[in-house]
Amino acid sequence: MAANVPTVKLNSGYDLPQIGYGTFGGADAPHLVHDAAKVALKEGYRHFDTAYLYKTERSLGDAIRGSGVPREEVFVTTKLWQTFKRPEHVRPACERSLQDLGFEYIDMYMFHWPMAWEFHGYDHEQIQVKDENNDIKCIDVPIIDTWREMEKLVKDGLVRSIGVSNFTIPMLEDLISKAEIPPAMNQIEIHPSLPQEEMVNWAKDHNIALTAYSPLGNPGFSWFASTGHSKTLEEPAVLKAAEKYGKTPVQVLINWGVARGYCVIPKSVTPERIKANIEYFKMDPEDVEEITKIGREHPVRTCDPVLMFGPSNDVFGEHKKKD
């Protein structure tokens, strides 16, 4: 049975639960996600997040199709990778995702990042090729050219909603001014150390839903830890709320996001965590505010495109500012 979790309505007309299930996570993820997603479906998750990059589309699709939960009751997001941004690669990339998921349609197809890279084929080994300077150079493919192809996927019934990920407000403003179908969603990193207040307010005003990725600051991923993990789970305001509501710090972080009005997609392959992470409770506005204060002055990003992809990918302009 679906869990008792609030839903958000997208500007495309579809509803999706605010607590979802993320599937990114290292070399073991494709194998582990299959059984973990089965647990998640049993615990009532009906909103799942994957991407071509994660190599989890196949295992997630298998778990969903084998679960007995009707396809219509499950909302699945997957993403278009940077090497598939030229218009002629958008549909074949989407068809690959559809085939791996084993679905007739994708609920949400989104830009994974707002940059484009040279196409090197669809082989996973070829989608993140760095040059001798440990960089991946961007190519000039206007966002709107890719977006037009995404719009066609909606019109042709391959995809129900289209969205973006890792977009800034100026990027969204530009896209909206040119698009026929506005983006239904922007998926971005949000946790108390990166509360993204400006985007949260702007998105509300513009009827674009948000999804918070790495909502726990990805505590278990050593790569993120080595690049500035924020230790959000140990913050006094989080611990205080955990005590007040009789919940764990992780449950506080998840429900802080729900209280702020967006979707939250924690990832876990551990059955008892999967069960705990979907427990919804209401938080008082003053506790939400105390936790939002944590990163207000000195935000910490764990998923930094420059550190992951190289200096050509400073899409947030944060490294330029530091120089």
Ligand X SMILES: NC(=O)c1ccc[n+]([C@@H]2O[C@H](COP(=O)([O-])OP(=O)(O)OC[C@H]3O[C@@H](n4cnc5c(N)ncnc54)[C@H](OP(=O)(O)O)[C@@H]3O)[C@@H](O)[C@H]2O)c1
> For the CA atoms of 2, 3, 5, 10, what is the dihedral angle to 10 degrees?
-20
Selection from 205, 178, 200 nearest residue 188 by Cα: 200
Strand bridging mode 7-9 / 15-17: antiparallel
CA pair distance 79, 110, nearest whole angstrom: 5
To ligand X, the closest distance from the beta carbon of 238 in angstroms equals 13
265 sits near ligand X (criterion: CB under 6 A): yes
The number of residues making up the chain comes to 323
Asked if residue 25 binds ligand X (CB under 6 A), the reply is yes
Least distance between ligand X and beta carbon 244 (Å): 18
Closer to ligand X by CB, 90 or 233: give it.
233
Counting contacts by CB under 6 A, is residue 271 touching ligand X?
A: no
Contact between 146 and ligand X by CB under 6 A: the answer reads: no
Query: Which of these is catalytic: 21, 45, 54, 109?
Result: 54
Give the Cα separation of 242 and 250 in Å (integer).
9
Our CB check for ligand X shows the closer of 124 and 155 to be: 124
State the minimum distance, in angstroms, from the CB of residue 132 to ligand X: 26
The closest alpha carbon to 69, from 44, 90, 99, 98, belongs to: 44
Closer Cβ to ligand X, 55 or 112, answer by number: 112
Smallest gap from Cβ 112 to ligand X, in A, equals: 6
Listed ranges 37-45, 80-88, 91-99, 261-269: which one lies at the site for ligand X (CB under 6 A): 261-269
- Considering only 18, 161, 186, 187, the residue that binds ligand X (CB under 6 A) is 187
Q: Which one among 19, 24, 39, 64 touches ligand X, defined by CB under 6 A?
A: 24
Per CB under 6 A, the segment of 172-180, 265-273, 285-293, 315-323 that binds ligand X is 265-273
Helices in 187-295 by DSSP H: which ranges?
Answer: 197-205, 222-226, 236-245, 249-259, 271-277, 285-292
- Helix (H, G, I), strand (E, B), or coil: what is residue 105? coil
Angle (CA) 213-127-209 rounded to 5° is: 25
With CB under 6 A, what is the number of residues at the site for ligand X?
Answer: 29
Rounded distance, CA 216 to CA 71, Å? 28
For ligand X, the closer of residues 12 and 166 by Cβ is 166
Using the rule CB under 6 A, which residue among 203, 267, 301, 309 binds ligand X? 267
Whole-number Å distance between alpha carbons of 288 and 313: 33
Q: Which is nearer to ligand X, 208 or 285 (CB)?
A: 208
Pairing assessment for the beta strands 209-213 and 263-264 based on DSSP bridges:
parallel
Q: Applying CB under 6 A, which of residues 17, 22, 61, 257 lies at the interface with ligand X?
A: 22
Residues numbered 292-321 forming contacts with ligand X, rule: CB under 6 A: 303
Within a 10 A sphere around the Cβ of 15, how many other Cβ atoms? 11
Q: Across-strand partners of 29?
A: none
Q: Is 268 in the site for ligand X (CB under 6 A)?
A: yes
77 or 292: CB nearest ligand X = 77
Q: Which helix (H) or strand (E) holds 60?
A: helix 57-65
66 residue type, one letter: G
Active-site residue flag, 262: no
Catalytic residues: 54
List residues binding ligand X (CB under 6 A): 22-25, 49, 112, 165-166, 187, 213-221, 250, 265-270, 273, 276-277, 303
